[in-house]
Protein backbone atom coordinates (compact mmCIF):
# COMPACT_ATOMS: atom_id res chain seq x y z
CA UNK A 1 0.00 0.00 0.00
CA UNK A 2 1.09 3.57 -0.61
CA UNK A 3 2.21 5.57 2.38
CA UNK A 4 4.26 5.01 5.53
CA UNK A 5 2.68 3.04 8.34
CA UNK A 6 4.21 3.26 11.80
CA UNK A 7 3.34 4.62 15.22
CA UNK A 8 4.58 8.13 14.37
CA UNK A 9 1.43 8.97 12.37
CA UNK A 10 -1.22 7.00 14.28
CA UNK A 11 -2.25 9.91 16.51
CA UNK A 12 -2.60 12.17 13.47
CA UNK A 13 -5.01 9.69 11.88
CA UNK A 14 -6.93 9.37 15.16
CA UNK A 15 -7.31 13.15 15.26
CA UNK A 16 -8.61 13.14 11.67
CA UNK A 17 -11.18 10.41 12.33
CA UNK A 18 -12.42 12.11 15.50
CA UNK A 19 -12.92 15.33 13.52
CA UNK A 20 -14.88 13.58 10.77
CA UNK A 21 -17.03 11.93 13.43
CA UNK A 22 -17.54 15.36 15.02
CA UNK A 23 -18.66 16.86 11.70
CA UNK A 24 -21.50 14.34 11.48
CA UNK A 25 -22.72 15.50 14.89
CA UNK A 26 -22.40 19.18 13.97
CA UNK A 27 -24.58 18.62 10.89
CA UNK A 28 -27.15 16.91 13.12
CA UNK A 29 -27.18 19.89 15.47
CA UNK A 30 -25.39 18.09 18.31
CA UNK A 31 -22.90 20.86 18.96
CA UNK A 32 -21.79 19.63 22.35
CA UNK A 33 -20.43 16.40 20.90
CA UNK A 34 -18.98 18.25 17.91
CA UNK A 35 -17.12 20.73 20.15
CA UNK A 36 -15.96 17.85 22.32
CA UNK A 37 -14.50 16.12 19.25
CA UNK A 38 -12.74 19.33 18.19
CA UNK A 39 -11.13 19.70 21.61
CA UNK A 40 -10.00 16.05 21.65
CA UNK A 41 -8.62 16.41 18.12
CA UNK A 42 -6.61 19.43 19.27
CA UNK A 43 -5.30 17.46 22.22
CA UNK A 44 -4.13 14.69 19.88
CA UNK A 45 -2.39 17.23 17.65
CA UNK A 46 -0.42 18.61 20.59
CA UNK A 47 1.42 15.32 21.00
CA UNK A 48 1.71 13.80 17.53
CA UNK A 49 4.92 15.70 16.76
CA UNK A 50 6.47 14.72 20.07
CA UNK A 51 5.64 11.07 19.41
CA UNK A 52 7.06 11.25 15.88
CA UNK A 53 10.37 12.61 17.17
CA UNK A 54 10.83 9.61 19.45
CA UNK A 55 11.60 7.49 16.35
CA UNK A 56 15.25 8.29 15.75
CA UNK A 57 15.75 6.23 12.60
CA UNK A 58 13.15 7.95 10.40
CA UNK A 59 14.20 8.33 6.79
CA UNK A 60 13.96 11.68 5.00
CA UNK A 61 10.92 10.36 3.12
CA UNK A 62 9.24 9.43 6.39
CA UNK A 63 9.94 12.87 7.84
CA UNK A 64 8.57 14.61 4.74
CA UNK A 65 5.53 12.36 4.73
CA UNK A 66 4.93 13.21 8.39
CA UNK A 67 4.99 16.95 7.64
CA UNK A 68 2.61 16.59 4.70
CA UNK A 69 0.15 14.23 6.37
CA UNK A 70 0.06 16.40 9.50
CA UNK A 71 -0.80 19.51 7.50
CA UNK A 72 -3.36 17.72 5.33
CA UNK A 73 -5.11 16.40 8.42
CA UNK A 74 -4.91 19.85 10.04
CA UNK A 75 -6.80 21.32 7.07
CA UNK A 76 -9.68 18.96 7.84
CA UNK A 77 -9.49 19.03 11.65
CA UNK A 78 -8.91 22.74 12.27
CA UNK A 79 -9.87 24.28 8.93
CA UNK A 80 -12.95 22.47 7.58
CA UNK A 81 -14.27 21.12 10.90
CA UNK A 82 -14.55 24.56 12.62
CA UNK A 83 -16.16 25.91 9.43
CA UNK A 84 -18.82 23.18 9.58
CA UNK A 85 -19.46 23.83 13.29
CA UNK A 86 -19.61 27.62 12.86
CA UNK A 87 -21.92 27.38 9.84
CA UNK A 88 -24.29 25.03 11.63
CA UNK A 89 -24.27 27.25 14.74
CA UNK A 90 -25.49 30.28 12.81
CA UNK A 91 -22.87 31.64 10.42
CA UNK A 92 -24.98 30.87 7.36
CA UNK A 93 -25.83 34.38 6.18
CA UNK A 94 -23.90 36.11 3.36
CA UNK A 95 -21.46 37.81 5.75
CA UNK A 96 -20.96 34.63 7.77
CA UNK A 97 -20.28 32.54 4.68
CA UNK A 98 -17.83 35.17 3.39
CA UNK A 99 -15.96 35.07 6.72
CA UNK A 100 -15.89 31.26 6.65
CA UNK A 101 -14.55 31.30 3.10
CA UNK A 102 -11.79 33.68 4.20
CA UNK A 103 -11.05 31.51 7.25
CA UNK A 104 -10.74 28.43 5.03
CA UNK A 105 -8.43 30.20 2.58
CA UNK A 106 -6.29 31.56 5.42
CA UNK A 107 -6.02 28.04 6.89
CA UNK A 108 -4.74 26.58 3.64
CA UNK A 109 -2.35 29.48 3.00
CA UNK A 110 -0.88 29.20 6.49
CA UNK A 111 -0.37 25.45 6.26
CA UNK A 112 1.09 25.63 2.74
CA UNK A 113 3.54 28.31 3.89
CA UNK A 114 4.38 26.26 6.98
CA UNK A 115 5.20 23.21 4.84
CA UNK A 116 7.59 25.20 2.68
CA UNK A 117 9.33 26.89 5.60
CA UNK A 118 9.46 23.77 7.78
CA UNK A 119 11.09 21.72 5.02
CA UNK A 120 13.60 24.55 4.55
CA UNK A 121 14.25 24.75 8.31
CA UNK A 122 14.76 21.02 8.72
CA UNK A 123 17.31 21.05 5.91
CA UNK A 124 19.43 23.45 7.95
CA UNK A 125 18.79 22.56 11.59
CA UNK A 126 17.70 19.70 13.82
CA UNK A 127 15.04 19.54 16.51
CA UNK A 128 11.63 21.17 16.87
CA UNK A 129 11.05 24.79 15.89
CA UNK A 130 11.07 27.41 18.66
CA UNK A 131 8.60 29.89 17.15
CA UNK A 132 5.33 29.80 15.27
CA UNK A 133 5.00 32.24 12.40
CA UNK A 134 1.41 33.37 12.54
CA UNK A 135 -1.21 31.90 14.86
CA UNK A 136 -1.14 28.07 14.73
CA UNK A 137 -4.21 26.66 13.01
CA UNK A 138 -4.69 24.21 15.90
CA UNK A 139 -5.50 27.15 18.18
CA UNK A 140 -9.11 26.91 16.95
CA UNK A 141 -9.39 23.70 18.98
CA UNK A 142 -9.13 25.91 22.07
CA UNK A 143 -10.82 29.09 20.82
CA UNK A 144 -14.07 27.52 19.58
CA UNK A 145 -14.69 25.28 22.64
CA UNK A 146 -13.98 28.30 24.86
CA UNK A 147 -16.42 30.36 22.78
CA UNK A 148 -19.06 27.67 23.14
CA UNK A 149 -19.03 28.08 26.91
CA UNK A 150 -20.56 31.54 26.40
CA UNK A 151 -23.38 30.45 24.12
CA UNK A 152 -25.96 31.37 26.78
CA UNK A 153 -25.47 35.11 26.22
CA UNK A 154 -28.30 34.82 23.69
CA UNK A 155 -28.37 33.41 20.20
CA UNK A 156 -27.95 36.70 18.31
CA UNK A 157 -25.19 37.91 20.60
CA UNK A 158 -23.37 34.59 20.43
CA UNK A 159 -23.56 34.40 16.63
CA UNK A 160 -22.31 37.99 16.32
CA UNK A 161 -19.34 37.25 18.58
CA UNK A 162 -18.70 34.04 16.62
CA UNK A 163 -18.48 36.06 13.38
CA UNK A 164 -15.93 38.42 14.91
CA UNK A 165 -13.81 35.71 16.52
CA UNK A 166 -13.61 33.53 13.38
CA UNK A 167 -12.61 36.57 11.31
CA UNK A 168 -9.89 37.61 13.79
CA UNK A 169 -8.48 34.08 14.03
CA UNK A 170 -8.37 33.83 10.23
CA UNK A 171 -6.46 37.12 10.03
CA UNK A 172 -3.99 35.95 12.68
CA UNK A 173 -3.35 32.74 10.71
CA UNK A 174 -1.71 34.73 7.93
CA UNK A 175 -0.30 37.63 9.97
CA UNK A 176 3.48 37.87 9.94
CA UNK A 177 3.87 37.62 13.69
CA UNK A 178 6.15 35.39 15.73
CA UNK A 179 4.65 33.45 18.61
CA UNK A 180 6.99 31.58 20.89
CA UNK A 181 6.20 27.88 20.94
CA UNK A 182 5.21 26.87 24.47
CA UNK A 183 7.71 24.77 26.36
CA UNK A 184 6.77 22.08 28.87
CA UNK A 185 5.12 24.42 31.46
CA UNK A 186 3.15 26.11 28.69
CA UNK A 187 2.12 22.78 27.21
CA UNK A 188 0.96 21.62 30.63
CA UNK A 189 -1.14 24.79 30.97
CA UNK A 190 -2.71 24.32 27.54
CA UNK A 191 -3.47 20.68 28.30
CA UNK A 192 -5.04 21.76 31.61
CA UNK A 193 -7.29 24.28 29.82
CA UNK A 194 -8.38 21.70 27.26
CA UNK A 195 -8.95 19.16 30.05
CA UNK A 196 -11.23 21.62 31.84
CA UNK A 197 -13.15 22.22 28.64
CA UNK A 198 -13.49 18.48 28.10
CA UNK A 199 -14.65 17.99 31.68
CA UNK A 200 -17.28 20.67 31.12
CA UNK A 201 -18.40 19.04 27.88
CA UNK A 202 -18.65 15.60 29.50
CA UNK A 203 -20.78 17.14 32.23
CA UNK A 204 -23.15 18.45 29.58
CA UNK A 205 -23.50 15.14 27.70
The pLDDT value given to residue 66? 79
The pLDDT value given to residue 29? 93
CB within 8 A of 11, min separation 6: which ones? 44, 45, 47, 48, 51
Q: How far apart are CA 100 and CA 123, in angstroms?
A: 35
Q: Is the Cβ–Cβ distance between 123 and 179 less than 8 Å?
A: no
Q: What does pTM read for this prediction?
A: 0.86
CATH architecture of 7-204: Up-down Bundle (1.20)
Q: How far apart are CA 49 and CA 98, in angstroms?
A: 33
Q: Could you tell me the mean pLDDT of each successive run of 10 residues in the chain, 205 residues long?
A: 76 93 96 90 81 73 81 94 96 96 96 80 66 86 86 84 96 88 62 68 57
Amino acid sequence: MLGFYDYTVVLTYVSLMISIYGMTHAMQGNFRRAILCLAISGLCDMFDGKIARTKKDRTEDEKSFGIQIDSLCDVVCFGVFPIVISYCMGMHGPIGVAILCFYGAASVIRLGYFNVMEAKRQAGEEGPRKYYQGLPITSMAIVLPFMYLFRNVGRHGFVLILHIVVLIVGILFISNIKIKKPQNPGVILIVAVIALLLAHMFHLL
